[in-house]
Amino acid sequence: MANPLDDPTVDPFEIAKQAAEIIATKSGVAKHDIALTLGSGWAKAADLIGETVASIPADEIPGFRKSQVVGHVSTIRSIALPNGKYALVLGARTHFYEGHGVRPVVHGVRTAAATGAEMMILTNGAGGIKTSWAPGTPVLISDHINNTAASPIEGANFVDLTDLYSKRLRDIARTVDSSLDEGVYMQFRGPHYETPAEVQMAKAVGAHLVGMSTALEAIAARASGLEVLGLSLSTNLAAGISATPLSHTEVLAAGKEAEPRISALLAEIIAKL
Ligand code: 8IG
């Protein structure tokens, strides 16, 4: 099926509205409250937060693409939380490095907003720059540096990004685990990992985490009025910070190893929202 977002004349917010209508119809849930994008290492959280009411293949919803990455699932789930609220789990992240432009990257966030969500939880696997973060350490994102040279915002729409990553939500997360550290996330385009020199550049400009997602999504979330919580799983020390080269297989394995622990953490955080 052709993706409507590939047509540059189409209004992406109109596609997001259509996607939200399909989700409401297929799930029977008229309004979702919280949306989550679960990146590498975080997927199990979906099974822990509540009762799944619907699991919809992403390709049945306008604007979504099948995931191209091994180990990433492509379903959109509607989950009833114990507190009576509904969560929308977006299991179909499109990465900027896939080369389809920025619209598909932020379509999930815009769809979440159109389903009525007020909060967006963005999670990812990332490379850590702080040597104190052993592989498998979860980190709250306090701010980001968008190093993609792209923006999801179209037109002269000057969105304020002060406090993009909600202090209120970070404080709630720390009531669950007071040892949670926080750091600045720098999004690179990828899909190659950084050179050691690029990691040193990231460190010099104030980044603590390097990854290939989240910043563009967070910007779109703020533009849609969503409150943002960002969480990284530092699965590996960034290139050159550790002596050993990076392997995608090892990075995935570290995510899998940490998954039960950090998914439980995220579920506990969501129970407090
Ligand atoms: I998981 O070291 C994971 N994702 N850019 N660099 C970048 N993305 C990542 C890394 C990393 N680890």
Mind listing the pLDDT tens digit for each residue in 180-189?
999 999 999 9
Does the CB atom of residue 236 touch ligand 1 within 6 A?
A: yes
Determine which residue's CA is closest to atom 11 belonging to ligand 1: 127
Secondary structure (3-state) at 143: strand
Which atom in ligand 1 lies closest to the alpha carbon of residue 254? 1
Q: Helices 103-114 and 215-223, interaxial angle, to 10°?
A: 40
Does the CB atom of residue 139 touch ligand 1 within 6 A?
A: no
Mean pLDDT of the residues in the chain? 93
Domain span at 67: 4-271
Is 250 a known active-site residue? no
- DSSP-H helix ranges across the chain: 12-27, 45-48, 103-114, 167-176, 196-204, 215-223, 248-271
Contacts of 131 (CB under 8 A, 6+ apart): 237, 241
pLDDT over 90 (residue 268): yes
Record the tokens describing residue 4, joined without a space: 């409507």
Record the tokens describing residue 138, joined without a space: 């979860």
pLDDT over 70 (residue 236): yes
Q: State mean pLDDT over 237-250.
A: 88
Secondary structure (3-state) at 37: strand
* Eight-class DSSP state of 75: E
Q: Buried (b) or exposed (e) across 210-235, using 16+ Cβ within 10 A?
A: bbbbbbbbbbbbbbbebbbbbbbbbb
CATH of the domain at 45: 3.40.50.1580
Q: What's the CA gap between 94 and 123, in Å, rounded?
A: 13
**Sign of the Cα pseudo-torsion (257, 36, 180, 267, in order):** negative
pLDDT over 80 (residue 1): no
Count of domains for the chain: 1
Cis ω for the linkage preceding 191 (within 30 of 0) = yes
Query: Per the residue annotation, which of 194, 198, 217, 227 is the catalytic one?
Result: 194
pLDDT class of 70 with cuts at 50, 70, 90: low
Does the CB atom of residue 125 touch ligand 1 within 6 A?
A: yes
pLDDT class of 245 with cuts at 50, 70, 90: confident
